Chain A
Amino acid sequence: MIKQTVVIVGSGQAGFQTAASLRLEGFEGEIILFGDEPGLPYQRPPLSKTYFADADAQRLLFRNADFFQRNRIKLWDNARAARIHRDRKEVELEDGRTIAYDKLVLALGTKNRELPIPGTRLANVLQLRTLKDADLLRHAAKNASRAVMIGGGFIGLEVASVLRGEGLEVSIIELEPRVMARAVSKPISAHYEQLHAASGVEFHLEESVTSLTGNKKGEVEALTLSDGTRLNADLVVVCAGVVPDIAIAQEAGLAVENGIRVDAHLRTDDPDIFAIGDCASFVHAASNRLVRIESVQNALDQAKCVAKNIAGQKGAQPQAYDRVAWFWSDQAGTKLQIAGLTGPADQWHVCQSDSPEKLTVLAFKDSQFIGAETVNNASDHMTARKILSGRDKVSFKDFESSGFDLRRLAREKTRTG
């Protein structure tokens, strides 16, 4: 058999895992993995968490350089794809090089949403996506005393926590009436608003920033909010969400819809091109909705699925992607975890808790269990995942009759199922 070449664009969580999993699946052809960042592929989650304290970049790496050699994975850094020539099955890099592929995997991730307001180019107005961003932020934080987060989502809150820990005064500006509004239920938002407020974080909810102003040196000095309030700041972190980084897919004529559109096997409308991770949108089988998920779990599991489908024998049934989504966040000294996709929930149930530090909130849609949010309760989280990955649907009534005891319910379900 002629050996195939798989080219993977984007060497983040999903791109790296695809390369590693292809070898685990016994793929023997050539693997070229490239991305536009410098250095070896690394993990992003610690950037807004432990990296702040330890600044140990080596700890972030997925693998040593040795691993790539041993596994015959050609890794190119500082290489950005400019165009995909589908007719010739080639990727053209910004530096003019071209690479031919048999199969192409797009793992392009996201880029930060830019704010359409004056002043975002001032010094000390930063963002956090890459290791380089994290180093700039750590450095700026050393000389700052008043930080403002624009955006109260996961990353905004994690960074707020870390900066409070460094002794900075911290404010958060959030457009929605509550933090993490698009991702979690009201009880969880309220829990975290309370925790962060107790640690000294100040909130400006239902507010937006209309402009940033700087001093003579071109450093940020203040923000103006939509209600006219002026906040002084010597460090501003823009964490106002991200958008998929998919211009090259769009220009190549691939279908896009809030991300690169893929089918159940993570294939785009070109049978030789796949898309995975933060940049891909797909129909979530359990809820029949088009989703794009930004999480480590999604990136990892989609990478494994794509590797199976590429390395699989000709004629073998391709594998459909159907893993239960889960996510975590570290904030204010607590562990927040989400199992399942709770977006469409129309009913929430807050479970009784044996400790004020623990919280479990269950999500239902049309009386069916679709997910759980937990604070400091890893065992409820893991049990919820077990229930969600089972074949049987579980209803609100099932929970009622088991006294909302997740473990009991899981035992009952596995016994009958």
Chain B
Amino acid sequence: MTRIQEKFNQLKSKNEAALISYIMVGYPSEKATLAAVRGLIKGGTDIIELGFPFSDPIADGPTIQMASTESLNKGTKIDDFFSIVKKIRKEADIPLVLMTYTNILYNQTYQKFISRAKEVGIDGLILPDMAIEESKDYVKAAKKSGMDTIFLVSPNTQNDRLKKIIKATSGFLYMVAVFGTTGVQTKIHKYTIDALKNTKRSANGKIPVGVGFGISTDKDVHKYVSSGADAVIVGSANIKIMENTPVNKIESKIFTFTKKLKNKTR
């Protein structure tokens, strides 16, 4: 069983949903990344999603685009990413998920990249541009390394597709809350809640369903958890905090914010 699967089992027995927190590695610096990770862990987040920047992040809105560009401009390389993951792994046993784009893996071959990621302590992968139709080799390589493949579904995903995607997914299923890119939203749509219920029905208890994109307040967390989400994913809101906070304050600010969100998952 992977760390992610274990975590969801533990939470289930406590009747809790998971809080999954996203940050961009190397934004605004390696030091800030490590400080944020400490804040997230102390604040009680259940799973950390580490973004590795890609030059052309088509599924991301302005906030994460900015963080990607900044991180790349600072010179963040894939070797730096792996070495940061190693550092985090020395301090904590929390499940770690890598979110990046297909080309970063394809470039080294799926097999090589995934076995290296697994070795340093990554438990699952999210690739927003990996469509189910193209995923055969990727899923095969991940299975071989015991890496979870976290696929995305959208509110407009039809049930027959949903079934195929669920079959290829392990760890948890990532439901995109909105028609749009990542970023802070101001309202929760009825179509999202309907889609969440439908997705849960299709998942049928076999795989946890997380909701992400645009979630930024404890109210949002409460609403999704009370509508049946097994996990909520918060990203741009963390980046926004880091954007406006000096490095020596990042840990405490992220801690306070995370604690507030985590409270609403119980």
Q: Do A and B interact?
A: no
